[in-house]
Amino acid sequence: MSAPVSVATQLALFLANKPGTFAAVCRALSRAAINIYAITTSDTIDHSVVRMIVDQPRAALRVLEQHGCLVLESDVLMIEGNNKPGSLADITQRLADEGINIEYAYCATEPKASRGLLILRPSNVPKALKALNTPATKARPATAEKKPAAAPKKPAKAKSASSSDPTK
């Protein structure tokens, strides 16, 4: 894999789904000089789930808990990669080939940027890390001819004890 892949601590916050709640969290992190590298939100009727990768996860956890937030930590993969067609297809195919499910992912890249950042939650973080950090083997072209397999040798007929032993 040409893209750097590492394990990152993701914080998942459960916030009230009302104006100002998310702003208060962002303000608290800002006051603590905590930088947000990646963030995504999803909502339900009564709450929002905010997932984020920050530069200081332990400090962020303390700040968020002081503000009464329910916060869960989990390991995710942080993948820096090329911003070109096929980059995500390569990553997802390599994981699929290893039987690894992608539970969710989020990313953003400025259209003219040459690199982007993908946050990915695989079903098995250590196995996914290994799969993505192992150099890909080049598949043989579909037009390559395969040598025919050698025909299996026929086993020699076993002689029965009665026919090979004249005393019986």
| Dist. CA 120–CA 117, nearest whole Å | 10
70-82 sheet: strands from edge to edge: 36-43, 47-54, 5-16, 70-82, 115-122, 102-108
Report for 15-19, 54-58, 150-154: range of highest mean pLDDT: 54-58
| Contact (CB, 8 A) for 68 and 24 | no
Q: Is the pLDDT of residue 155 over 50?
A: no
| Dist. CA 68–CA 63, nearest whole Å | 9
| Dist. CA 44–CA 57, nearest whole Å | 25
Among candidate residues 122, 136, 134, the one with its CA nearest the CA of residue 7: 122
Report residue 165's pLDDT band, with 50, 70 and 90 as the boundaries: very low
CA distances from residue 53 to 57, 58, 74, 107, 161 in whole angstroms, order as listed: 8, 11, 10, 11, 75
| Dist. CA 8–CA 102, nearest whole Å | 16
- CA 128 to chain CA centroid, Å, is 6
At 43 the pLDDT is: 82
What digits encode the pLDDT tens for the residues 31-51?
A: 999 999 999 999 888 889 999
| Angular region, 149: left φ>0, alpha ψ -120 to 50, beta rest | beta
Q: What is the pTM of this model?
A: 0.74
Q: What is the mean pLDDT of residues 17-29?
A: 94
State which amino acid sits at residue 64: L
What digits encode the pLDDT tens for the residues 68-102?
A: 999 999 999 999 999 999 999 999 999 999 999 99
| DSSP code for 142 | T
| Dist. CA 49–CA 124, nearest whole Å | 22
